[in-house]
Amino acid sequence: MQRFARSRSIGPVAGERRRGFLLPDQLSVSGWNRRASTFLLEAFVCRRLAALSEKRRTSNRTKHLQIRMHESGGEDDDLFPANGFGAQAMATASHPVLPFTPHQNPATSHHHHHLHHQLTSATSLTHLKQLHAQILRSNLPLPSTSLLLHTLSLSSSPLSLSYSLSVFTHIPKPNPNLSNKLLREFSNSREPYNTLLAYSQLRGKGLGVDRFCFPTVLKVVSRVKAVIEGMEVHGLAVKLGFGDDPFVETGLVRMYEGCGRILDARRVFDKMSHRDVVTWSVMINGYSQVGLFDDVLALFEAMKSSNVEPDEVIFSSVISACGRARNLSYGKAIHESITQSGMLTDPYLQSALVSMYGSCGSMELAQNLYDQLSTKPIVVSTAMISGYSKNGQVEAARLIFDQMTGKDLVCWSAMMSCYVESEKPLEALELFNQMQVRRIKPDKVTMLIVISACAHLGALKHAKWIHEYVDRHGFGGDLRVNNALIDMYAKCGSLEGAIEVFDGMPRKNVVTWTGMVTALAIHGEAVNALKLFYQLENENIKPNEVTFVSVLYACSHSGLVDEGRKIFASMVEEYNITPKLVHYGCMVDLLGRANLLTEAFEIVEQMPLEPNVVIWGSLMAACRFHDEFELGEFAAKRLLELDPDHDGAHVFSSNISAKERRWEDAREARILMKQKGISKERGWSRIELNNEVHEFLMGARNHEQADEIYAKLNEVVGELKQVGYAPNTCNVLVDLDEDEKEKAVLWHSEKLALCYGLIREEEGSCIRIVKNLRICEDCHTFMKLVSKVHQKNIIVRDRTRFHHYKDGLCSCNDYW
DNA sequence: ATAGGGTTAG
């Protein structure tokens, strides 16, 4: 074992001599009589059995005990979960209150029976602990352990498990049969780490460890990714001669996979002499999780060649790998095999197939399969919803949703997520309201979706409401929920809100910090974003790829060119992060915006990755901004090669031709666009007033107060013209006359939203607008002037960032 | 006699 650990030479334990792991102080219970411990554990178990057999009918005795328990102040009761399970149980553990008189003659069998009866009928942890104390005081003889054998398979709450662990650790010689059951009980609980503590106890005593404990222990090691401990277990298993037990070996394969060591997993796998379908399944899943799908298929074929017949489980694993690899043809072939094998009735397989088709973009095939099912399990319907969601088919998803008879939380969440993904956050929130009406309790995942819906919507009042909801319903302590709240506040234009959540978080991870850096960056506070980033080092948090995207983004949106270059270099050299396309994109953006177009183009030419639409798009945008037509047209052409329907590139090329008076080219470009049915993505804007969200499409008149709004627009334009405003039409398609061009600009949706905000003026409040596209130069000027003339703060979120207008100036310093 | 593998919302 020593040799094994040292040969890998990792971590602090190499060379250190120890058996098992350390047991935290809080779990050692001093002064416990060993016989009493065994007795108590047994009683604990009896109690569970009794509870199970009496599940529904509450006897008089139980009622009596409950009443007594409440009288003595205990309110914990893990047999009746409705009563909750308080921390008080632990607090009273060391000072139990005895509810009955101690017996004078403890050693009699009468007394033993009496106590045994008390124990088996005890209904709360508190009561059990009181009895425990009673045993300790009376020094009772050890009863038989037979009852233990059938028991520990009931589900348990974490607290009672840690209690039974502390009892367990004081049994000097637990038999392996019992200890394995307990280990398994721990491993399935919410705190699987207890398994390792119990295992460590057994090891410390040098006993109780047989071959059957290893699969369980390894499973836990894999779940908690404790690679050092895993290797110790590996070493011990080999030393004890279980190294060639197929169950142990399979556990080892999975353990190494769980710890991110696929090669070590494969090494164990390769030297196995007997591999059954589970072994193959574990190995295949390992490769699937790290995205090596070719290996998945190769292994699957190898498995079939070695005459192991695939079962439902392994089929579903391979199917899901096909989905993630977008390998439709292989997926279809397996579908065929499944049909022939008659396994298609398995709901796991059905949902795996549906979601595979969804990932491969073939919802027709998914629908075909779905239509054939006589009963449609919820999971399969949910897979259909998320399949349609992935493919942008909201209506089809909704149809499935509406046809479902029994809806669970997951399918509600899936439908909400679908709306968020398709940029329909209001519909998602509407569903959330319906959930409330139906009294369906959301969970953490639901909350993450709803919070994300609010972030997409960008409406601050909705955001505040959902934040209150989060706190009221006890989600406020969750790390991921808080991370989502930071993002939400940032996207709703409230940097203060984001900071407040950030500051109030007791625990932060790299996502938290990255989220806050992004929040500062999109609000134009690049210097603070960088400060926060540099603070990461003190916090012992390692920035990841995403963190660097945020920081580089901050630099590029504030023109911090040198800083950006430096950070990009440190990402590669100090943090060993290989730049991805997004990072190069940030650099192109950074340099392009700063009018260092040659350098930006050099990045595109020299980077080791093939430039994509985003890269060329960002170069093109920079060229448009700086009137660099030649390079711009080149970028536009590359862009159109990759995406022939790219609206921006078509408009830009056409406009360049016009600017250079190549009228024929310009006309041709426009005709081409018309033929292909390409038009600029229609702009829309939203404004939240009085808890209502109003949406405006460019040039549309469907708002009930449209006349008033357009009148207001004329009035405002008149005012602004007096302070020097002239509509700027240079980015409009050229085949319009000047008057039309001016209207095309004036009717931009954000101006309509702004005017509606001015009509519905709320005292002292600022106007918050959300826009789907990047704000155009004309609107930008317009907003600045209105903020001055009307003395009104305006906050506009566009596709990439926020603009805070105040007193004629914008927070972006006209650099966006 | 006891143990190891999977599906739907993020």
Residue closest to B10 C1′ by Cα? A445
Mean pLDDT rounded to a whole number for chain A: 82
Asked whether A249 and A218 are in contact (CB, 8 A), the reply is: no
A706/A670 same-domain check: no
Last residue of a domain, one of A616, A650, A680: A680
Query: How far, CA to CA in Å, does A196 sit from each of A156, A158, A216?
Result: 17, 15, 10
Residues in chain A: 816
Distance CA A225, CA A257 (A): 9
Residue closest to B9 C1′ by Cα? A414
What number is the average pLDDT over the span A740-761? 88
Overall number of domains in chain A? 2
A716/A640 same-domain check: no
Q: Strands across the sheet with A692-697, in order?
A: A692-697, A684-689, A767-771, A794-797, A802-806, A809-810
Residue closest to B7 C1′ by Cα? A348
Answer yes or no: is A718 within a domain.
yes
The first and second tokens of residue A792, run together, are 């009104």
Give the CA-to-C1' distance from A665 to B3 in angstroms: 74
A668/A761 same-domain check: no
pLDDT, position A113: 63
A693/A666 same-domain check: no
Q: Is the pLDDT of residue A547 over 80?
A: yes
A647/A707 same-domain check: no
A589/A623 same-domain check: yes
Tell which residue, A438, A364, A379, has the closest CA to residue A414: A379
A628/A700 same-domain check: no
pLDDT, position A139: 57
Asked whether A635 and A623 are in contact (CB, 8 A), the reply is: yes
Q: Which residue has the tokens 């993002």?
A: A487
pLDDT, position A156: 47
Partnered with residue A805 across adjacent β-strands are A794, A810
Give the CA-to-C1' distance from A520 to B8 in angstroms: 36
Q: How confident is the model at residue A655 (pLDDT cuts 50, 70, 90)?
A: confident
Answer yes or no: is A706 within a domain.
yes
Asked whether A361 and A391 are in contact (CB, 8 A), the reply is: yes
Distance CA A62, CA A389 (A): 51
pLDDT, position A656: 81
Answer yes or no: is A780 within a domain.
yes
Give the CA-to-C1' distance from A717 to B8 in angstroms: 53
Answer yes or no: is A588 within a domain.
yes
A609/A698 same-domain check: no
Answer yes or no: is A795 within a domain.
yes
A688/A803 same-domain check: yes
Which nucleotide minimizes the distance between its C1' and the CA of A281? B5
Asked whether A347 and A380 are in contact (CB, 8 A), the reply is: yes
Give the CA-to-C1' distance from A181 to B2 in angstroms: 8
Q: Is the pLDDT of residue A284 over 70?
A: yes
Give the CA-to-C1' distance from A442 to B6 in angstroms: 26
Last residue of a domain, one of A655, A680, A705: A680
- Interval A54-78: pLDDT, tens: 332 333 322 222 222 222 222 222 2
Answer yes or no: is A645 within a domain.
yes
A646/A620 same-domain check: yes
Distance CA A274, CA A81 (A): 45
pLDDT, position A116: 61
The CATH number for A626's domain is: 1.25.40.10
Q: Which residue has the tokens 């190898």?
A: A302
The first and second tokens of residue A783, run together, are 């907003």
The first and second tokens of residue A503, run together, are 């500051």
A746 CA to centre of own chain: 41
Single-letter amino acid code for the residue at A426: L
Q: Which domain holds residue A596?
A: 579-680
A782/A748 same-domain check: yes
What number is the average pLDDT over the span A553-573? 95
pLDDT, position A796: 96
- Interval A116-158: pLDDT, tens: 666 566 555 666 666 666 666 665 543 333 233 333 333 345 5
Answer yes or no: is A815 within a domain.
no
Give the CA-to-C1' distance from A316 to B5 in angstroms: 11
Which nucleotide minimizes the distance between its C1' and the CA of A348? B7
Residue closest to B5 C1′ by Cα? A278
Last residue of a domain, one of A680, A706, A722: A680
Answer yes or no: is A311 within a domain.
no
A718/A745 same-domain check: yes
What number is the average pLDDT over the span A273-302? 96
